[in-house]
Amino acid sequence: MSTLTFTMLKPDAVSNGYAGKIINDITEAGFKIVALKYTKLSPEMAGRFYAVHKERGFYNDLVSYMSSGPIYVAVLQKDNAVADFRTLIGATDPKKAEAGTIRAKYAKSIEANAVHGSDSDENANIEANFFFTQFERF
């Protein structure tokens, strides 16, 4: 069944010039881009987006990193989108990501790990709604 997931191409991926290559990998893997935006998070927005990690030791660094430069945000559609996208991007820590995955190819560190991918259908919906209205999806 066709389902949705949400992704961000993070500041490291954008500043290193990998955004085009990553978008190509995503579409080659069969994902349809139904919404796409180039934007920059304020610290307040980054904090709200990652509020589930508030108690984690890396939260403050993550918020300042995610608001340090422009990002791309996108909603993607495919059968089994959430799980298939997580397979495509690989483990959170690029050192543990399987060869050929987006994080293995393009990420710098566990924090600057090139891309975000939703971890459930419920969070995909919440995250897509954080950035896009229904009228911005095609």
How many residues bind ligand CMP (CB under 6 A)? The answer is 8
What is the C-alpha to C-alpha distance for residues 22 and 20, in angstroms, rounded to an integer? 5
Tokens of 31: 């994902």
* Cross-strand pairs, 4: 77
Residues noted as catalytic: 116
Residue 104 sits in the site that holds ligand CMP (CB under 6 A): no
Site for ligand CMP in 5-44 (CB under 6 A): none
* Cross-strand pairs, 32: 77
Judged by CB under 6 A, which stretch of 18-26, 29-37, 107-115, 125-133 contacts ligand CMP?
Answer: 107-115
Taking a C-beta distance cutoff of 8 angstroms, is the pair 13, 114 a contact? yes
CB atoms within 10 A of CB 54: 10
Contact letters (x/-) for ligand CMP, 53-92, by CB under 6 A? x----x---x-----------------------------x
Least Cβ distance, residue 20 to ligand CMP (angstroms)? 20
What is the C-alpha to C-alpha distance for residues 41 and 68, in angstroms, rounded to an integer? 8
CA angle 12, 122, 10 (to 5 degrees): 5
Residue 111 sits in the site that holds ligand CMP (CB under 6 A): yes
Least Cβ distance, residue 113 to ligand CMP (angstroms)? 5
Q: Contact residues for ligand CMP (CB under 6 A)?
A: 53, 58, 62, 92, 110-111, 113, 116
